[in-house]
Structure 1
């Protein structure tokens, strides 16, 4: 049986447990070999994961990858087929949802429309028989900066304000873990970006563990300390946003988290810390430390913003990787940068037929479609992947979609 063991303190999905850095374990959230099946369909496949107390953690993946099912098992809304769930040293696998020190904020917020904001936030306290709710409710509303709207109804608030009310209502119950299930999905782009910053501020102030499920790469990278990229019910890679972006372990992660130019080649030499490869007669090099393979078929990857264009070889810095024979097929001016597509003289069997290049607009010439160009970049910005992988994995957000709604 395949097992995806992940540690929020490492850059891959195969490290030792994060608890090693936190001997007491605190209130770390720990999943041990969790599997969830719906009939013949496996939504979550033998996943082990430790999320340190007080961290902002994101489960990122396309529809059907198992991220929401994982969240629902943590909350108690789904029972695992196999495996165990712990909060600190306490096993909560078989506890009913209301008995777990966990609260969830959903995409639709689930606010009570007939109650004002004060009473929505006070609801959990009143259910527990607490009489004097005013100090705690006011504290929570101040935390989410909505104290001045305490007597308004949800319908009188914007989507972002309603989302903050939902967070306050969840936090007032003092959970050990707050689960966020696509909480920004209903907001427009500008408001979503504002709320990303706001949620991170709230998490930092209260110091609770936030586990955030999203399909939005930018959202995960903006807020999370650690991201687990999920694919087909397993953790493909786990690490900090920067580590996942700069050092993807698979074509799926390279394509799903941002954009990548992927080129198939054959390793021709490994000399100390440098790997040399041949791609259709073009010589490229990359650091051995950034490659998952050092012989045979290899996929060399480079992010679009690392690549530059030139029409004169004399202007290319010494030692750069260079690809010749490119022709600009599209140039899009978007303000801070110009985004190019460059047609390459090879077929799709060698990799991307069109290379993506993002150049910052700093007064340089804009290359028009039809211009013959050289592509070049610092070899240290290249990463290497196993050449047997699917070049297109992760490039289509619907690749992993499932008919099983609970597995979203």
Structure 2
């Protein structure tokens, strides 16, 4: 079933925010935000609590009035329109289904409110899209959390919005169901071809579903790009720490030779690709993801050309099935995380003396002088 069959139209345009700002007294929740969400894309606003992502969503929906800036849908300026006059619908974390109506009537509600006489085909098509047609006569209280979320999605989509806003839509679900719904939401978005704007603090959720992620911090966009771009080439320590996990080492650029940057960090010479390092002299922060790093017992053979940090001691070993996660303390006192896939290799026990090593092409460089812990505390607060 195509998006035309289900929704009956495909026109619209990009969602564009121009200088969007929201202040509450002296506090700036959203700070001069310029952003374009391409039509038909699955876009995620990712950030910790209080970063401004939900406030941005509420301004797009019309539930909050901007202090400054404009909101455009295609060629239409919708900044001053009432919420019900915007071609935008929102799916909330709490579903907001009508408990006294069956599933069929919940989905039909928006059409009936607009005076549509024949609702049978669009409601049936929408229930088929979310694969819940067989439950049409049940009440919301008789459905699981994931089923209720899909009905909330169907009820929003049937109103033919140009943009669907998703405000932490999976936050109330348990981990296994949340992962199933991530796949389901992505399938539905691809099938209907509408613009989805998804607000979340969950990094895995954003990376699983979104074509493009904008990482927000203190009311501004820290970095925007595809999940792979942000993960492999973070531009700030905040993004490196908030999107996944990173080992970050402070150092000094010693020289650049062609495509190779040489860095001194913690008394050892390390290299990385010049294309992944914006710094050519002075202070630098060298980063490498834990799954790109390997362990070798002190004295064991290490691949030629690998970066290495010697004098390490394993202080914690955590077997989690698919991988073993190590925490290694270096002779200088810094800690390095190492995730090694479980392929039958010997597990290193706490107290083992090791060398940490990695392929130089797997590292990345960041401007020196940044807070090396930026973003890490935000993850801990959201997890609490």
TM-score (normalised: structure 2) = 0.95
Aligned residue number for residue 7 of structure 2? none
Where in structure 1 are there 5+ consecutive unaligned residues?
Answer: 1-24, 348-352, 402-408
Alignment of 1:241-260 (within 5 A): 241-260=227-246
SS at match of 2:377: coil
Tell me: CA distance 1:117–1:97, structure 2 relative to 1, closer, same or farther (3 Å). Answer: same
SS at match of 1:49: strand
2:372 is the counterpart of 1:391? yes
Distance in 2 of aligned mates of 1:270 and 1:400: 39
Tell me: CA distance 1:368–1:284, structure 2 relative to 1, closer, same or farther (3 Å). Answer: same
2:368 is the counterpart of 1:382? no
Tell me: CA distance 1:370–1:62, structure 2 relative to 1, closer, same or farther (3 Å). Answer: same
Alignment of 1:3-152 (within 5 A): 27-152=13-138
Distance in 1 of aligned mates of 2:380 and 2:172: 22
Distance in 2 of aligned mates of 1:100 and 1:298: 47
Instruction: Please say if residues 64 and 400 of structure 1, whose CA atoms lie closer than 8 Å, have aligned partners that are also in contact.
Output: no
Aligned residue number for residue 372 of structure 1? 353
Find the partner of 1:183 among 169, 173, 176: 169
Distance in 2 of aligned mates of 1:314 and 1:344: 17
SS at match of 2:170: coil
2:190 is the counterpart of 1:209? no
2:183 is the counterpart of 1:197? yes
Cα distance per residue 1:274-320 (max 9 Å; x no partner): 11011121010011110121110110000000000001555211100
Tell me: CA distance 1:340–1:400, structure 2 relative to 1, closer, same or farther (3 Å). Answer: closer
Distance in 1 of aligned mates of 2:121 and 2:13: 26
Distance in 2 of aligned mates of 1:379 and 1:345: 21
Tell me: CA distance 1:387–1:334, structure 2 relative to 1, closer, same or farther (3 Å). Answer: same
Find the partner of 2:283 among 277, 282, 297: 297
How many pairs were matched up? 372
State the 4+ residue runs in structure 1 displaced beyond 4 angstroms: 398-401
Aligned residue number for residue 356 of structure 1? 337
Greater RCO (Cα-Cα under 8 Å, separation 6 or more): 1
Instruction: Please say if residues 44 and 199 of structure 2, whose CA atoms lie closer than 8 Å, have aligned partners that are also in contact.
Output: yes
Find the partner of 1:155 among 125, 141, 156: 141
Distance in 2 of aligned mates of 1:237 and 1:252: 9
TM-score (normalised: structure 1) = 0.90
Aligned residue number for residue 280 of structure 1? 266
Distance in 1 of aligned mates of 2:373 and 2:258: 31
Where in structure 2 are there 5+ consecutive unaligned residues?
Answer: 1-10
Aligned CA RMSD, in angstroms, stands at 1.3
Distance in 2 of aligned mates of 1:92 and 1:108: 26
Distance in 2 of aligned mates of 1:315 and 1:193: 40
